[in-house]
Amino acid sequence: MKPIQPHERKVANIRDEAAYSPYDPEGISERGTSFIKLNPDTPRDVGFYIYRMEPGAQSTPHRHGGAEEFVMIEGELIDNDGTVYRPGDVVWLAGGTEHTSHTETGCVIAVYAEAGEEAPGS
């Protein structure tokens, strides 16, 4: 078996503040959100990533281009329909679903998205 080369592996720790990048660097649609995405070959909101929201943060309203699955690691997340997700919850949202979420406590979420997000109603 061939050893894994340095350029073939990235490691980040969800407790390391420096590992996160702003999810919306311009702060136009989201503030207080950041993420860790290790795969440079996929768009920002496709594939696997860690998504973090500071207390009081809200996601941009969006429509899922494909299914999304996530695991709540820390904190609570509240969907616009009032559903509350807590640590340990494993969630699947079908492609085409539309929502926005917010957090009062702050949260860390492990996300896998099949396709990118779009504006609601598109």
Query: How high is the pLDDT of residue 94?
Result: 97
Query: How high is the pLDDT of residue 29?
Result: 82
Q: What pLDDT, in 10s, does the model give residues 86-109?
A: 999 999 999 999 999 999 999 999
Residues in contact with 25: Cβ distance below 8 Å, sequence separation at least 6, in sequence order: none
Q: Is residue 11 part of a domain?
A: no
Nearest to 22 by CA among 52, 42, 62: 52
Residue 8 DSSP SS3: helix
Residue 68 in contact with residue 93, Cβ under 8 Å? Answer: yes
Q: Give the residue numbers spanning the domain of 103.
A: 31-118
Q: Is residue 5 part of a domain?
A: no
Q: Does the pTM exceed 0.85?
A: yes
- The CATH number of the domain holding residue 53 is 2.60.120.10
Q: Is residue 20 part of a domain?
A: no
DSSP secondary structure letters along 15-73: T-GGG-EESSTT-SS-SSEEEE---TTS-TTSEEEEEEE-TT-BPPPEEESS-EEEEEE
Query: How high is the pLDDT of residue 101?
Result: 96
Query: How high is the pLDDT of residue 121?
Result: 77
Name the stretches of the chain with pLDDT < 70: 122
Q: Is residue 3 part of a domain?
A: no
Q: How many domains does the chain have?
A: 1
Query: How high is the pLDDT of residue 32?
Result: 95
